[in-house]
Amino acid sequence: MNIKIITVGKLKERYLKDGIAEYSKRLSKFVKFQIIEVPDEKAPEQLSDSQMKQVMEKEGERILSKIANKEYVFVLAIKGQERTSEDLAHEINELGINGHSDITFVIGGSLGTAPAVNQRANALISFGKFTLPHQLMRLVLTEQIYRAFMINNHSPYHK
């Protein structure tokens, strides 16, 4: 199975890089795991609605260019469906059983994801109503993917 995260922007904080590296290493026992960063679109602090739309569209094009037709795509979105860790574990397991060996998670930029990215998604998922920095979300998502494999392998990691 191949799992990747496509995310907008570069990760700068060392502590986040270290945490992601640790969970990535742990995940390598189960899957081929990778994180792909696409450049964020530079924009002024105050944006008009049309400028926001343009930024999201450009970032969306970059995201979509990294997704193959065969990939099952989860897009993280505030309006997505919330899942428990067990739900995500079950869903990943079922996808593998049903022949979806390429699973992609998308974390948009600070403005969210373009409508075209959301339309490409097989599922929109939410990690709750909190607003989290998208760099921190990388760590949280990577840990939850690892936790899913621990749940599926009946590990005591998930208590």
76's CB contacts (< 8 A; 6+ apart) are 105, 106, 107, 108, 124, 125, 126, 127, 137, 141
Provide the residue type at 29 as one letter: K
CA distance 91 to 140: 18
Domains with residue ranges and CATH for the chain: 2-42+51-152 (3.40.1280.10)
Has 108 been labeled as part of a binding site?
yes
Q: How far apart are CA 69 and CA 128, in angstroms?
A: 28
Would you state the pLDDT for residue 64?
A: 98
Q: Which helix (H) or strand (E) holds 92?
A: helix 85-97
Distance CA 17, CA 13 (A): 6
Using CA atoms, how far apart are residues 16 and 9, in angstroms rounded to an integer?
14
pLDDT(159) > 80: no
Residue 136 confidence (pLDDT) above 80: yes
pLDDT of residue 129: 86
- The pTM assigned to this predicted structure is 0.95
Q: Is 111 annotated as a binding residue?
A: no
Among 55, 28, 47, 156, which residue's Cα sits nearest to residue 112?
55
For residue range 39-85, what is the model confidence (pLDDT) as tens digits? 999 887 888 899 999 999 999 999 999 999 999 999 999 899 999 99
* 94-128: pLDDT as tens digits: 999 999 999 999 999 989 999 999 999 999 999 99
CB 46 within 8 A of CB 54: no
Beta strands in the chain (DSSP E): 2-8, 32-38, 72-82, 102-107, 123-126
Residue 88 pLDDT greater than 90, yes or no: yes
pLDDT, position 133: 87
